Amino acid sequence: MSDTLVSPDVVTTDEGDHDRFSHYANKDKIMQSAIEGTPVIALCGKVWIPSRDPQKYPTCPTCKDIYESLDE
């Protein structure tokens, strides 16, 4: 997935429902974040530093909708 495919409005808060979900983001950016501790921007616009197991949370419905619309 390319960063240039989606240009979401950036959500800069770590509060709210965004923390209850696993988010879709560029795999290379997630790896870079793991190494450097830099923030990642999800398809839905959530900005965060991944630090938990995404398998333990449901998928963000906004990220999922955006990702599925990219296949069309």
State pLDDT tens for residues 9-48: 444 444 555 678 999 999 999 999 989 999 999 999 999 8
Q: Residues 51, 53, 57, 61: is their CA dihedral positive or negative?
A: positive
Task: Give SS3 for 43.
Answer: coil
4-13, 28-37, 53-62, 63-72: range with lowest mean pLDDT: 4-13
Q: Are 67 and 43 in contact (CB under 8 A)?
A: yes
